[in-house]
Amino acid sequence: MPVLRCARLLLLMLLPLLASCSSLYFPPPPQVPLLTQEGEWSGTLQTNFSQNTSVQGAYSPTNHLGVMGSVSFLHTDKKKRAEDHDFGEVGLGYYTRIRDTRVLELYGGYGIGKTKRVERTPSEGVTRTLEGNLTKYFVQANYTSKDHKSFHVFGRDWPVNYGTALRVSYMQLDKFRLDGLPHAPEDNVFLEPITYTRIELIGPVQFQLISGSNFGLRHRKYLKAANSVFQFGLIVNVGGQDGKR
């Protein structure tokens, strides 16, 4: 039964990826470094089945002050569609411990990027080209416990912890061109709630699985919430505090 439940959960997370996606925005996952003290560093490398890959890093120069940055990219060339999407973000925020075992982070940030899609059919060749610049302003809250639960599998204990994050983003699609001709720009407001699970592999290295949703608050044709927030990869955290201080 646990295996069947896991299979159902995985299928539900993958359904958004199997649906038709027509948005020019591919959301990078909200960064959750879980900083706890001065001098701590966090780095993440993750991807998904759509090849939307991100590299993230965060550092705490002082107690309660965190800085973070990330780059994400998606380059695919399939029979019906080619995608080129490059995006970068920076953020600055506040972190603190709550009741010793929990971490709260609040960030605000800015992002820029470029996106391009070439659509084609076997009979007609290229049928449409869409491209433009992306600008983002976001605020984000992260909340989790630094205590771990352990599961005994394959002859060893695997420490696991969970957390949540909520990002609110204002996104603009500027210098938008459709088949080489100027097109009206678009904007939207996105809500991106996520949950994540981290499994300690060895030392400071953990496997991370992020699953979430993307909601667009405005009705738009090209800049909409059609692509899910789903990523898996590795995260390394050095210099932080575990559990109670």
Chain mean pLDDT for the chain: 88
Burial class of residue 225, CB neighbours in 10 A (0-12, 13-18, 19+): buried
* pLDDT tens track for 161-191: 889 999 999 999 999 999 999 999 999 999 9
Alpha-carbon gap, residue 228 to 192, rounded angstroms = 9
* 10: CATH: 2.40.128
Q: How much is the pLDDT for 19?
A: 38
- Decide if 198 contacts 160 (C-beta within 8 A): yes
Q: What's the rounded Cα separation, in Å, for the pair 34 and 141?
A: 11
CA distance 64 to 76: 40
The answer to whether residue 245 sits within a structural domain is no
Task: Give a yes or no: residue 244 inside a domain.
Answer: no
Q: What is the pLDDT of residues 39-89, one digit of tens each?
A: 999 999 999 998 999 999 999 999 999 999 999 999 999 888 999 999 999
pLDDT band at 243 (very low <50, low <70, confident <90, very high): low
Domain count, the chain: 1
For residue 14, pLDDT beyond 60: no
Tokens of 245: 């201080």
Can you give the residue range of the structural domain that contains 187? 2-238
Q: Which residue pairs, CB below 8 angstroms and at least 24 apart, start in 19-22? A: 19/226, 20/226, 21/50, 21/226, 21/227, 22/222, 22/224, 22/226
